[in-house]
Amino acid sequence: MKTTIKTAIAVLISIAISGKVFTQTINWQSLKKEDKHIFTINSGFEFGLTYGVGYGHQLATKMPVVLNLEYSFPSGKNLTDDFKSKIGGKVRLYEIINFQFSVNISGVYRRYENNLVRMKNFGSDFSGVVGYYKPKWFVAGEVGFDKAIVTHLKHSQSYRDVFPGVIDGWYSPPSGGNFYYGLQTGFSFKQNDIYLKAGKVITQDFKTEPTVPFFAQIGYNFKFN
């Protein structure tokens, strides 16, 4: 029975965190030093239609650094029962001609609930982006890893009816995680960016796939000082 319960919990955790967390996309070549603030809105698909908002603040540093805060939620009747939030930053590490390499590092907090369990977890997201950037357009590739580090589970009564010995509480690793990769492109004009991105998600064990292993997003940035 304990093995069955642990297996069920592991599956639920994997389902809960299997969606990729979208990251604010920036055209580094069109970003000016005086553009201190970046406001983002986006919509995407990862197991369903999602919406997101974000804010980025560019630091006055020699190497371009943008700190960002992001929040996303799925469409549906209850817009606050499931959500993902991120806080972190992105750094452009290297530039040669118009080719640029940047990294994104964020802490993640998300909530997921269904008829069986409510889950909250803390995790991390790390990715690298390399691409060709011009002031009016860009195209790049991204590879990253999204990991749930610790997860809190609160089970419903219907779940307890089947597994009466289940225990609520915090569950630490091993927990779920996903590798993801994809392409992104965009167009820039004045203080605006419009971008598209799409890719695929692979679970960390490389043996299983999420129910929908693909993601896509369209977004808009407005930059101002």
Domain span holding position 29: 2-224
What is the per-residue pLDDT across 153-168, written as a single tens digit (0 to 9) for each?
899 998 898 888 888 9
55-104 residue pLDDT tens: 999 999 999 999 999 999 887 666 566 889 999 999 999 999 999 999 99
* 3-state secondary structure labels for all residues of 138-166: EEEEEEEEEEEEEEEEEECHHHHHHCCCC
DSSP-based three-state secondary structure for 32:
coil
**pTM confidence score:** 0.85
Q: Which two tokens stand for residue 218?
A: 């369209």
Domain CATH number, residue 41: 2.40.160.20
Contacts of residue 88, defined as CB under 8 A and 6 or more positions apart, other chains included, come to 67, 68, 104, 105, 106, 107, 125
Give the per-residue pLDDT at 212.
77
Looking at every residue in the chain, the average pLDDT score rounds to: 86
The pLDDT confidence band at residue 198, using thresholds 50, 70 and 90, is: very high
Confidence of residue 15 (pLDDT cuts 50, 70, 90): very low
CB 52 within 8 A of CB 22: yes
Helix (H/G/I), strand (E/B), else coil: 60: coil
Number of domain units in the chain: 1
CB 8 within 8 A of CB 119: no
- Which residues lie below 8 Å from residue 151, measured CB to CB, with a gap of 6+? 13, 16, 17, 119, 120, 121, 170, 171, 175
Band the pLDDT of 205: cuts 50, 70, 90: confident
